Structures are given as C-alpha cells and as structure tokens.
Amino acid sequence: MINNIPKHIAIIMDGNGRWAQAKGKKRTSGHKVGVERAREAVETAVELGVESLTLFAFSSENWNRPKEEVSYLMELFIIALNREVKTLNKHNVKLKFLGDTFAFNQKLQDSIKKAESLTAENSQLRLNIAANYGGRWDIVNAVNGLLADSNHVDKINEDLLASKLSTADLPDLDLLIRTGGETRISNFLIWQAAYAELYFCDTLWPDFDSKELQKAVDEFTRRQRRFGLTGEQVKEPS
Ligand code: IPE
Ligand code: IPE
Ligand code: MG
C-alpha cells in the first residue's frame, strides 16, 4: 500500500550549534538561520497540503544550556513570533504552543497568547511549536488533568489519556523527522510517536531546505505501515 502525504509531521530541528561552529561562528548564529528554515518548512507544509506540522523549538532539558544561549533563544522566539504572526495569519495558519509555556518570561508569554488568539480560527495548517516541551511532561500533565477533573474515574484507558495530551485535537503523528545526525527522540512526542514513521538525516537544521523536507515526505509515501498486520494484509486489493 502506498501512503499518501502525511497528515501530521513533527520535526526535531537539530544541529544549529554544530552548523555555526563548523563555520567558526557562535552557536547562536545557527539558531538565527534555523528560524529561516522553520519558516521554509511551514511554507512547504502548506504547499504539500499537510494538515499539521509540529516543530520542536525548545526542550524541557534545554534550560540547562549556558545562560547566554538560553537568553538568546528567548529573545529570538519573541522577535520571530512577533515578526511572523501576521504572515502566518494571512496564510490561514493556526498556531499553537505545546509545552509548559508558563515558565517563559512575561513578554514571551504575551506574544504566544496574542499569536494563538489571532490565529485561533484559521484552518489551512495547524502549526504547533513545542517549547519547554518534554514527552514525559506531556504524559504527567495529562494524568494530572485526569485526576483533577474526574475524581470518580478510577481506571484510565488510552483514549482518555490521549484526550488530555497537548496534541489531543491534532491528527495522529505520521512522520517524525530528526535532522542533525543523532538517532534519538530526546523526550519529544514519546506517546504520539508510537506508530509514526521515523526519518533521521545528517543534514544540520540550518541546511534543511524545502527539497530536504520533500525528500522525507517522498520516503514516507514509499513506506509500508503495517500497524502489526502482515504485509499481505495491508496490501491494496489488486
Ligand atoms: C537545535 O540545535 C536547536 C535547539 C535545541 C534549541 P542545537 O542547538 O541542539 O544544535 P547542536 O545539536 O548543538 O548542533
Ligand atoms: C532536541 O535537541 C531539542 C530540540 C531540537 C529543540 P537537543 O540538541 O536538545 O537534543 P540532545 O541533547 O542532543 O538529545
Ligand atoms: Mg542538538
């Protein structure tokens, strides 16, 4: 069976620091170029007709980086968000942040709120930015949500838990891409990736252009997703 275009793509945008260092520049300059590639990925996703794109921008663990790098990233998020939100809105993109955004400074929280509410009714593409996101946080947060609003429920099931995850209203994750050569999940969408197709490439994020994304999608369309069945069971009837 040939897969169609993935409905939901998630990307671990990795390799900014190494990209910059290889050019003798500061790691932060890699993050700056990384924002441009994120914009390009959004444009490509819209062109391809993808329903949902989730970008990993900052992990729960990234707080432990040098203070200057963390502050640079916070500033970059504010600048990029404020600069891009109008264009995203014009292109009918609905923006949502996944993660514990309350930990961010007030200025960034305000920009996030403004961007989410401005684009709330849009329907062309769901653009989800995972920021201060961790897969374990997501699951614990979902369990706490269940505990808080259902004191009569003494048993949970997969659907109930999934309904409390940050991705609850998004299509199932089809394709998870990681750039930058590492073959690990780094606490990204650990629940949601259960049956996603994984795609790892060596290209560092600042070099991951539209063609690279198209290549990943092309590979996805050629893979056979079996979901536990045999190859014969999932083959299209001839
Ligand atoms: C990913 O690039 C961006 C963030 C984690 C914010 P890195 O900054 O991890 O780049 P490398 O992996 O050190 O090259
Ligand atoms: C994952 O990349 C987080 C983001 C891309 C935002 P990292 O560079 O933080 O992951 P590790 O440390 O190599 O696992
Ligand atoms: Mg990295």
Active site residue 62: yes
Is 38 a member of any domain? yes
Tell me how far apart the alpha carbons of residues 181 and 202 are, in angstroms, rounded to a whole number.
Answer: 4
Q: Which of 3, 4, 16, 62 is catalytic?
A: 62
Distance 14 CA to ligand 3 centre (A): 5
Is 54 a member of any domain? yes
Is 62 a member of any domain? yes
Tens of pLDDT, residues 131-142: 999 999 999 999
Q: How confident is the model at residue 110 (pLDDT cuts 50, 70, 90)?
A: very high
Q: How confident is the model at residue 2 (pLDDT cuts 50, 70, 90)?
A: low
Closest to 48 in 3D by CA, of 204, 180, 203, 221: 221
Question: Which ligand lies nearest the alpha carbon of 19?
Answer: 1
Tens of pLDDT, residues 186-218: 999 999 999 999 999 999 999 999 999 999 999
Q: What is the structure's pLDDT at 50?
A: 98
- What is the number of domains present in the chain? 1
The CATH number that applies at residue 36 is 3.40.1180.10
Pocket test for ligand 1, best of 14, 21, 62, 183 (most atoms within 8 A of CB): 14
Intra-chain end-to-end CA distance of the chain, in Å: 10
Distance 15 CA to ligand 3 centre (A): 5
φ, ψ for residue 106, nearest 5 deg: -60, -40
Is 235 a member of any domain? no
Residue 154, pLDDT above cutoff 90: no
Tens of pLDDT, residues 76-89: 999 999 999 999 99
Instruction: State the virtual CA torsion across 91, 93, 97, 98 in degrees, nearest 10.
Output: -140
Q: How many CB atoms lie within 10 A of CB 207?
A: 15
Q: How confident is the model at residue 149 (pLDDT cuts 50, 70, 90)?
A: confident
Q: What is the structure's pLDDT at 49?
A: 96
Tell me how far apart the alpha carbons of residues 112 and 82 are, in angstroms, rounded to a whole number.
Answer: 9
Q: Work out the burial of residue 45: count CB atoms within 10 Å of its CB; fewer than 13 is exposed, 13-18 middle, 19 or more buried.
A: buried
Residue range(s) defining the domain that contains residue 218: 8-224
Cβ of 197 closer than 6 Å to ligand 1, yes or no, is no
* Ligand 2 atom nearest to CA at 62: 9
Look at the block and give the residue holding tokens 């920021």.
131
Is 172 a member of any domain? yes
Q: What is the structure's pLDDT at 177?
A: 99
Is 2 a member of any domain? no
Residue 152, pLDDT above cutoff 70: no
Pocket test for ligand 1, best of 11, 12, 18 (most atoms within 8 A of CB): 18
Is 234 a member of any domain? no
Tell me how far apart the alpha carbons of residues 112 and 78 are, in angstroms, rounded to a whole number.
Answer: 8
Cβ of 55 closer than 6 Å to ligand 1, yes or no, is no
Q: Taking a C-beta distance cutoff of 8 angstroms, is the pair 104, 60 a contact?
A: no
Is 236 a member of any domain? no
